[in-house]
C-alpha cells in the first residue's frame, strides 16, 4: 500500500480534469501558436484561454500574465528583470545603485537571485521575522531608501504556512513608488489571492503547487511595470519571455486555475477542517510533547508544521512509513539538519530539530487524516522500557 500523501506543499498530483484538458494538445493540436494557419490558430486560442483563466484567478488582466517555466523562473524574472530594467543606456545606473528588500524566510528562488545580484554590486537587505514567521511592515518602511528598486516578501511560507501582511507592505511601497513582488506559489488555490486587493506589482505562480504540471508557472506583471526580459529571443509573451510556448502545459495551468477559482472559498474551509482534525488528534494524544510552528491563524489552511519534542523530525518520519511528509529544507548543524525558516523564527533547537511539515490537499480524506494521526502518535510515544 502506498503511504498517505501529506506533502502537498512539496508538489500536488495533477487534477484529473487538468490531464483531460491537456491531452488534445499533446497530439491532435500540435500547432505552433505563432503560425497563421488553423493549426497555429487552435494552439494560439488555447494559450489565450489559459492566460485568461489564470488572470481570472488572480483578478488580473490577461495581458498582465507572463507564462514561465515554473515558480523559480518567475521569481528570477521579477528580481533580475526589475534591477536590469534600471541599467539601460550609456549614462545608465550601475547595479550598485540598486537595492532590494527581502525577508529572512524567502524561498531559495528569491534568495539565490538576490545573492547573484549582490555579486553584481546590488545591495540586499534581509528583514527578520517574529517567532510566528511574520514580517513587520514598519521594518519594511525603515529599510527602504531612495535607491530601493524592489521589495520582495512572500505571500505565504512553504514550511510553516505563515501569511504575510502584504496589503500593509503594499501601502508603504506604493507611497514610495517602489515595486512590490510577492511569491504566491504556495497560496494559489488554498486562499483567495487577488493582485488588486493585495496591491502587488509582481506575483509568482507555480503550476505544480496547484494541481497543474511541474515546469510551468507565471509571473503577474502589473500594467506599466518595466522588466528586462530574462530570456531574449523572438517576440513571444509580448516580448517578455522568448521561446515557443509549451501549449499543453499552459492549458494545464489554465485549467488548474479555473478549477481553483471555482472551488474557492469552499476549498479553504475544507482544507482547514482536515488540517485541524489532524492537529487536534495529535495534540490530544501528545499534549505538551508537540508544539505548533507558524502563526496559529494567519497561516495557509492546509499547512501543519509541528515539532515532536524529544524527537528528530527526519527520524520520526523514517519510523512512520505509513505517511509521506517533509521536514524543513535541510541546513546542517553538526549531524542534525535544521530548518533555516525555523532558525529565522528563533525556534529553540529542540523545536527546530523535531519539526515535521504535514500538508493536506484536494485529495486528502478524513480517513487518511485519522490513519496518519494514529501512525504519528504511535511513532512519537516514548518507548516503554
Ligand atoms: C514558496 C515557493 N516559491 C517558489 C517555488 C519554486 O517553484 P518551482 O518549483 O515551480 O520552480 C516553490 C516550490 O517549492 C515554493 O514553495
Which of 113, 160, 184, 185 has the most ligand 1 atoms within 8 A of CB, as the residue to mutate?
A: 185
**pLDDT of 252 strictly over 90:** yes
For the chain, how big is the Rg over CA atoms in Å? 22
343 is catalytic: no
232 alpha carbon – ligand 1 mean position (Å): 23
Mean of pLDDT values over 21-39: 97
Mean of pLDDT values over 197-226: 98
74 alpha carbon – ligand 1 mean position (Å): 9
Measured between alpha carbons, how far apart are the two ends of the chain, in Å?
Answer: 31
Q: Is the CB of 70 under 6 A from ligand 1?
A: yes
DSSP state letters, 121-152: T-EEEEE---TTSPPPHHHHHHH--TTEEEEE
Domain boundaries, the chain: 4-11+265-380, 16-263
Topology, domain 4-11+265-380: 3.90.1150
Most distant CA pair in the chain, distance: 76
CATH number for the domain running over 16-263:
3.40.640.10
SS3 letters across 322-373: CEECECCCCEEECCEEECHHHHHCCCCHHHHHCEEEEECCCCCCHHHHHHHH
Q: Which residue has the higher pLDDT, 154 or 94?
A: 154
224: left (phi over 0), alpha (psi -120 to 50) or beta: left
Taking each helix axis from N to C end, the angle separating 266-286 and 366-380, rounded to the nearest 10 degrees, works out to 30
Of the residues 114, 122, 331, 343, which is catalytic? 331
Q: Residue with C-alpha cell 523530525?
A: 313
Q: Whose CA is nearest to atom 14 of ligand 1?
A: 10
Taking each helix axis from N to C end, the angle separating 108-119 and 71-84, rounded to the nearest 10 degrees, works out to 30
Amino acid 266: pLDDT: 96
Which of 76, 188, 206 has the most ligand 1 atoms within 8 A of CB, as the residue to mutate?
A: 206
Give, for 115, the enclosing helix (H) or strand (E): helix 108-119
212 alpha carbon – ligand 1 mean position (Å): 13
What is the pLDDT confidence band of residue 88, given thresholds at 50, 70 and 90? low
pLDDT tens by residue, 259-296:
999 999 999 999 999 999 999 999 999 999 999 999 99
Give, for 19, the enclosing helix (H) or strand (E): helix 16-22
Cell of 152: 520582495
Rounded distance between C-alpha atoms, residue 333 and residue 104, angstroms = 18
Asked if domains 4-11+265-380 and 16-263 share a fold, the reply is no
What is the pLDDT confidence band of residue 336, given thresholds at 50, 70 and 90? confident
Give, for 305, the enclosing helix (H) or strand (E): strand 303-308
185 alpha carbon – ligand 1 mean position (Å): 6
pLDDT tens by residue, 163-177:
999 999 999 999 999
Mean of pLDDT values over 341-347: 97
Which of 12, 67, 107, 111 has the most ligand 1 atoms within 8 A of CB, as the residue to mutate?
A: 107
Mean of pLDDT values over 109-115: 98
Amino acid 242: pLDDT: 94
36 alpha carbon – ligand 1 mean position (Å): 35
Mean of pLDDT values over 87-109: 81
Q: Is the CB of 71 under 6 A from ligand 1?
A: yes
Q: Is the CB of 113 under 6 A from ligand 1?
A: no
pLDDT tens by residue, 287-324:
999 999 999 999 999 999 999 999 999 999 999 999 99
Q: Residue with C-alpha cell 502518535?
A: 377
Rounded distance between C-alpha atoms, residue 271 and residue 302, angstroms = 5
Pairing of strands 202-206, 217-221: antiparallel
Q: Is the CB of 186 under 6 A from ligand 1?
A: yes
Amino acid 230: pLDDT: 87
Amino acid at each position: 500500500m502506498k503511504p498517505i500523501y501529506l506533502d502537498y506543499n512539496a508538489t500536488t498530483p495533477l487534477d484529473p480534469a487538468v490531464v483531460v484538458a491537456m491531452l488534445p494538445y499533446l497530439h491532435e493540436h500540435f500547432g505552433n501558436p505563432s503560425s497563421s494557419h488553423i493549426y497555429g490558430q487552435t494552439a494560439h486560442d488555447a494559450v489565450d484561454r489559459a492566460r485568461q483563466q489564470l488572470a481570472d484567478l488572480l483578478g488580473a488582466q490577461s495581458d498582465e500574465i507572463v507564462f514561465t517555466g515554473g515558480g523559480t523562473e518567475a521569481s528570477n524574472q521579477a528580481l533580475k528583470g526589475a534591477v536590469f530594467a534600471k541599467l539601460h543606456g550609456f549614462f545608465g545606473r550601475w547595479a550598485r545603485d540598486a537595492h532590494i528588500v527581502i525577508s529572512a524566510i524567502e524561498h531559495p528562488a528569491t534568495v539565490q537571485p538576490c545573492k547573484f545580484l549582490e555579486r553584481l554590486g546590488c545591495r540586499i537587505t534581509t528583514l527578520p521575522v517574529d517567532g510566528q514567521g511574520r514580517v513587520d511592515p514598519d521594518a519594511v518602511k525603515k529599510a527602504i531608501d531612495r535607491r530601493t528598486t524592489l521589495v520582495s516578501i512572500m505571500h505565504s511560507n512553504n514550511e510553516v504556512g505563515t501569511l504575510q501582511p502584504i496589503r500593509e507592505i503594499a501601502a508603504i511601497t506604493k507611497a514610495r513608488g517602489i515595486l512590490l513582488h510577492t511569491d504566491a506559489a504556495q497560496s494559489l488555490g488554498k486562499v483567495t489571492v487577488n493582485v488588486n486587493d493585495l496591491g502587488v506589482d509582481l506575483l509568482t505562480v507555480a503550476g505544480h503547487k496547484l494541481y497543474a504540471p511541474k515546469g510551468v508557472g507565471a509571473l503577474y506583471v502589473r500594467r506599466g511595470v518595466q522588466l528586462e526580459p530574462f530570456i531574449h529571443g523572438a517576440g513571444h509573451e509580448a516580448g517578455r519571455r522568448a521561446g515557443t510556448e509549451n501549449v499543453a502545459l499552459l492549458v494545464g495551468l489554465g485549467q488548474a486555475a479555473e478549477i481553483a477559482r471555482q472551488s474557492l472559498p469552499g476549498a479553504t474551509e475544507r482544507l482547514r477542517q482536515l488540517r485541524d482534525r489532524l492537529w487536534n488528534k495529535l495534540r490530544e494524544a501528545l499534549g505538551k510533547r508537540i508544539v505548533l510552528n507558524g502563526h496559529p491563524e494567519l497561516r495557509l489552511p492546509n499547512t501543519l508544521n509541528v515539532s515532536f519534542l524529544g524527537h528528530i523530525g527526519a527520524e520520526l518520519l523514517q519510523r512512520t512509513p505509513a505517511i509521506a511528509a517533509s521536514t524543513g529544507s535541510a541546513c546542517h548543524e553538526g549531524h542534525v539538519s535544521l530548518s533555516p525558516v525555523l532558525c529565522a523564527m528563533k525556534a529553540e533547537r529542540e523545536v527546530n530539530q523535531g519539526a515535521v511539515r504535514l500538508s493536506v490537499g484536494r485529495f486528502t480524506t478524513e480517513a487518511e487524516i485519522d490513519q496518519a494521526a494514529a501512525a504519528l502518535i504511535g511513532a512519537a510515544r516514548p518507548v516503554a522500557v
